[in-house]
Structure 1
Amino acid sequence: METAEAATSFWPIVITGIAILVLLCLSAVFSGSETALTTAKRGKLHSMDGKGDRGAGVALKLIEDKERLIGAILLGNNLVNILATSLATMFFTVLLGEGAVAIATLVMTGLVLVFSEVLPKTYAITNAETMAARVSPLIRGVVVVLSPVVNAVRALVRTILGVFGVSTDPEAHFLAAQEEIAGAIALHHSEGAVEKDDRDRLLGALDLGQRRVEEVMLHRREIEMIDADLPPAEILAKALESQHTRIPLYREDPENIIGVLHAKDLSRAVHQLGLDSRESPADFSELNIEEVAMEPYFVPETTPLDEQMRAFLLRRSHFALVVDEYGALHGLITLEDIIEEIVGDITDEHDTQKSSGIEPNDDGSVEVDGGVTIRDLNRDCDWSLPDEEANTIAGLVIHEAQAIPNAGQVFSFHGFRFEVLERENNRLTRIRVRKLL
């Protein structure tokens, strides 16, 4: 009789013990899955998916809605942890009596901490993408099953947060893709894995969509032009003297651009003129410059650089004139100008050697031409001056001073000291900049 009673009480204890172990294993899966799916790099998952790993594809879809994913995992993890703790309390109470609650608490805390939290999360951190791909089919099922409860919890949480004036955007992502990539590049640079030049090129390519044509164009006062009404021989001489391949042609007013003269087209026309007049000296007065010139291509100053680069490639053109909102000539931009924003200055054998406009001093300060862009100064000196309100150093000083300073005036803002060295009319031509400690 006693043997039968002992057997009857033995199996429930064994089954309870097995259930506790199974629940601890499920808790470990939930904890590891949460870490793996939230730390896995989408780029690696996408690459794995492209190689035929279906689990990676499922993981990518789960990550698209992280709020629902984390809600389902946390709900499942809490359910199995609470159930395991309750069963453990019953298990130790049967074995040790009423005073076993404290023992059950200590034992379950140790087991959950080591085997259901630290161990699986440590593994997930070191093998995030692999584990994410393996557990994603299981977690997808959990998300589907628990979605009604998770959606109710999400609605309740948003309601409570709304009472305290905190608004939530259900469609918001934790980080935009561009910010995520830029942050990764900056992190690897700070750790020494990415060189400064490589970092600048990568960030320059990422920033093209955030920057506009007016930020990199050549200002109209610096544009080299030729008067179309000059004698053809003189136009030819000016074109040969120029270091530029493409030169705008104007008539009467520099604002009235009638065409763009390409050196190669001009050479062909001159060569043909020589062939047509072999028996007598070539008469350059017969050269029709307007027929040789290309039709000018105008673009708005607000065009993003990435769009303008695509437009250049589509048109098979490298040169555009920039106009403001009133249609007035503002400057010019070339494909080379855009590429230089990625790789830095490009020079060839016909370019004259010119200063960058940035001259470092022994005391740590830098003397800068007023027309130097804030981006170029930041890039050269590894600084972080803001360029939201102004494009050039002179523009930044004028914006912060709310006036056009005179030579000798000194200002401090954004953690830097600015001293105006030279001013010509209404332009600041030379500024000394020093970072404050």
Structure 2
Amino acid sequence: MDPTSTAIDSAFWITAGAILFLLVLSGFFSGSETALTASSRGKLRAQADKGSRGAQKALDITDDNERLIGSVLLGNNLVNILAASLATALFTRLFGESGVALATLVMTLLVLIFAEVLPKTYAITNAEKAAAAVAPVIGLIVTLFSPIVAAVRLLVRGVLSLFGVRIDPDSHILAVREEIAGAIQLGHSEGVVEKEDRDRILGALDLGDRTVDEIMLHRSKIEMIDANEDPEAILQQCLQSSHTRLPVFRDEQENIIGVVHAKDLFRSMYAEVGGAEGDADRLKQFDVAKVANPPYFVPDTTTLDDQMREFLRMRGHFALVVDEYGSLQGLITLEDILEEIVGEIADEFDLPDEVPVTRTEDGQFLVEGAMTIRDLNRTMDWTLPDEEANTVAGLVIHEAQMIPTVGQVFAFHGFRFEVTAREGNRVTALKIRPL
């Protein structure tokens, strides 16, 4: 046998084996990148808490995604370029100049199938398992390549800075809260998460972004006690009221002097008259201000999350909301905040509410102007914006840049709004339908 032919055959198999090994390495890098970036940190944390060292290592190396991706891409490009060079040399030796085109075609197919699609498909379907398995090896590679990656990182940031792009190394593409909200919305759109569950979870997540003035009971709807009224009238008002706590004012409604609890009021009045056998005429000397608790005022810019924590800390349920000038704007209770999470809470003493949204015969929806946009979105599963206004009427006024009259029709945000009722400067009812 010709020794030259034997040498060529030996070189062929050695080169082919090296290319195959490099393809395996390329698949490893590609799959590792996908597994580590697609895995859920929450699931990895749960596995790490159960004693999985691989999961803990995966958490550690994904803390710096920029360094991780840089190291993996560096390794992946090294093996891909080396494999392509060996394949070009091999095919050129066998087929001459036409071997370059043939090597490009063959390596493209091999890399695409066995080094990209196959490992990434497995990694995306078994992200946490694959991430925990490859994390120790990838961690070693990240350590070895860290000097080169650091230099590349500086070069990349220098180039980006020329275009005015600044990179915060401590920032994350998505905050944890946004990731949860996005996952819940996606699960609801796919039918995995029920609407009620979605509303509760998103309601709890939104407490830190919303302020008390968005959900407070407006001052025009607050039921108050006039301290100058006769005690009999005050007693009658409390007996007929559906509320347990009522603000007390003197002379003018802005002058809140306290908040009276119905139980305290009844107990004090009972003691004032001398019990069941007492003299009712003694009730005329009763002063409601003496049994009222000091009023608790909060700024209208307080977030719902902070206000709920403050309610729990002070063991209170009731606060009066004021603006920056100290003027009374409304009131808020702990129940109002909880309703933003769990939905409407009603008991046997609550007055029966009308249906918030009524469907008309022509397919439109009759909505009260004072209904909040958030409640309308939750009821109808719509996505009307609530950044510029809290109520439906406020949204129409904001978009129209005027106080509309009855019968006027507007179209914005993919909906048709028709004003059906107005009292003074307040839009009290509208008809809405999606366009």
Query: 1:2 and 1:414, CA in 2 relative to 1: closer, same or farther beyond 3 A?
Result: closer
| Superposition deviation, residue 120 in structure 1 | 1.0
3-state DSSP of counterpart to 1:331: strand
CA distance in 2, matches of 1:236, 1:124: 71
Q: Distance in 1 between matches of 2:176 and 2:75?
A: 29
Measure the CA separation in 2 of the matches of 1:277 and 1:306.
Answer: 44
**Which amino acid in structure 1 is aligned with residue 240 of structure 2?**
E
Note closer, same or farther for the CA distance 1:98–1:399 as it changes in structure 2 (3 Å cut).
closer
Query: Which secondary structure does the structure 2 equivalent of 1:419 belong to?
Result: strand
Shift of 1:238: 1.4
Distance in 1 of aligned mates of 2:276 and 2:398: 62
2:248 corresponds to: 249
Distance (Å, rounded) in 2 between the aligned partners of 1:399 and 1:126: 47
State the distance in 1 between where 2:134 and 2:393 align. Answer: 56
Q: 1:178 is matched with which residue?
A: 177
Report SS of the residue matched to 2:249: strand
Q: 1:135 to 1:272 in 2, by over 3 A?
A: farther
Pair 1:117–1:332, CA change in 2 (3 A) = same
Moved more, 409-418 or 218-227: 409-418
Return closer, same or farther for 1:154/1:267 CA change in 2, 3 Å cut-off.
same
- Structure 1 residue 113 displacement after superposition: 2.3
Deviations 1:265-294 (A, max 9, x none): 2233345446x5566435324544333221
What does residue 157 of structure 1 align with?
Answer: 156
Q: Output the amino acid matched with 1:434.
A: R
Q: Say which SS state the counterpart of residue 115 (structure 2) adopts.
A: helix
2:197 aligned with 1:214, yes or no?
no
- 1:199 aligned counterpart, secondary structure: helix
Which whole-Å CA distance do the structure 1 matches of 2:300 and 2:412 have between them?
A: 29
Letter in 2 for 1:250: F
CA gap of 1:97–1:427, structure 2 versus 1, over 3 A, is closer
1:230 match: 229
Question: 1:248: Cα distance to partner?
Answer: 0.6
Match of 2:394 in 1: 395
Unmatched 5+ stretches in structure 1: none
Residue of structure 1 equivalent to 2:279:
281
- Note the 1:7-86 alignment, pairs <5 A: 15-86=14-85
Corresponding residue number in structure 2 for 1:190? 189
* Equivalence for 1:110: 109
Moved more, 141-150 or 392-401: 141-150
**Structure 1 residue 188: deviation in Å?**
1.1
Compared with structure 1, are the counterparts of its residues 277 and 124 closer, same or farther at alpha carbon in structure 2 (3 Å cutoff)?
A: closer
Residue 194 of structure 1: SS of its match in structure 2? Answer: coil
- Structure 1 counterpart of 2:265, one-letter code: L
Please state how far the C-alpha of 1:103 moved relative to its aligned partner.
Answer: 4.4
Tell me, in whole angstroms, the C-alpha distance in 1 between the residues paired with 2:206 and 2:363. 28
Distance of 1:158 and 1:45 partners within structure 2: 30
Farther-moved stretch of structure 1 (384-393 vs 103-112):
103-112
Q: CA deviation at 1:225?
A: 0.4
Distance in 2 between residues matched to 1:20 and 1:102, nearest whole Å: 17
CA–CA separation in structure 2 for the residues paired with 1:103 and 1:77: 22
TM-score by length of 1: 0.91
Aligned counterpart, 1:349: 348
Q: After superposition, what is the alpha-carbon deviation per residue over 1:277-328, rounded to whole angstroms, capped at 9, x for unaligned?
A: 5664353245443332211111110111111111111111111000000111
User: How high is the sequence identity, in percent, across the aligned residues?
Assistant: 61
Tell me how far apart the structure 2 counterparts of residues 122 and 277 of structure 1 sit (CA, whole Å): 80
Which sits farther off after the overlay, 11-20 or 37-46? 11-20
Aligned to 1:315: 314
Which has the higher mean CA deviation after the structures are superposed, 307-316 or 414-423?
Answer: 414-423
Of 94-103 and 343-352, the range deviating more from structure 2: 94-103
Report how far residue 98 of structure 1 moved: 6.9
Partner Cα distance (2:192, 2:160) in 1? 41
Q: Following TM superposition, by how much is the alpha carbon of 1:93 offset from its aligned partner in structure 2, in angstroms?
A: 5.4
CA distance in 1, matches of 2:275, 2:260: 23
Alignment partners' CA distance in 1, 2:17 and 2:353: 79
Return closer, same or farther for 1:216/1:141 CA change in 2, 3 Å cut-off: same
**Which position in structure 2 is the counterpart of 1:292?**
291
Which deviations, in whole Å up to 9, do the C-alpha atoms of 1:136-191 show, x marking residues without a partner?
A: 12212222222222233233333334444555444432212222211111111111
- Whole-angstrom distance in 2 between the partners of 1:252 and 1:307: 33
Q: Distance in 2 between matches of 1:151 and 1:145?
A: 11
**CA distance in structure 2 between the partners assigned to 1:66 and 1:100 by the alignment:** 39
Q: Distance in 2 between matches of 1:421 and 1:108?
A: 69
Q: Distance in 1 between matches of 2:276 and 2:430?
A: 58
Stretch of structure 1 that moved more, 223-232 or 127-136: 223-232
Separation (CA, whole Å) in 1 of partners of 2:155 and 2:221 = 62
| Aligned match of 1:148 | 147
Q: What number of residue pairs does the alignment pair up?
A: 434
Aligned-residue offset at 1:221: 0.9
> Deviation digits for residues 92-113 of structure 1, max 9, x if unmatched?
5566777644444444333322
Partner of 2:328: 329
Query: What is the match of residue 365 of structure 2?
Result: 366
Residue 304 (structure 1) aligned with residue 316 (structure 2): no
The 3-state SS of whatever aligns with 2:174 is coil
1:98-137 superposed Cα distances (whole Å, 9 cap, x missing partner) = 7644444444333322222121111101100111111112
The Cα of 1:338 is off from its aligned counterpart by: 0.8
**Change over 3 Å in CA distance of 1:255–1:147 after alignment to 2:** same
Which residue identity lines up with residue 354 of structure 1 in the other structure? D
Give the C-alpha shift of residue 91 in structure 1: 4.5
Distance 1:357 1:98 in 2: 78
User: How far apart in 2 are the matches of 1:389 and 1:93?
Assistant: 67
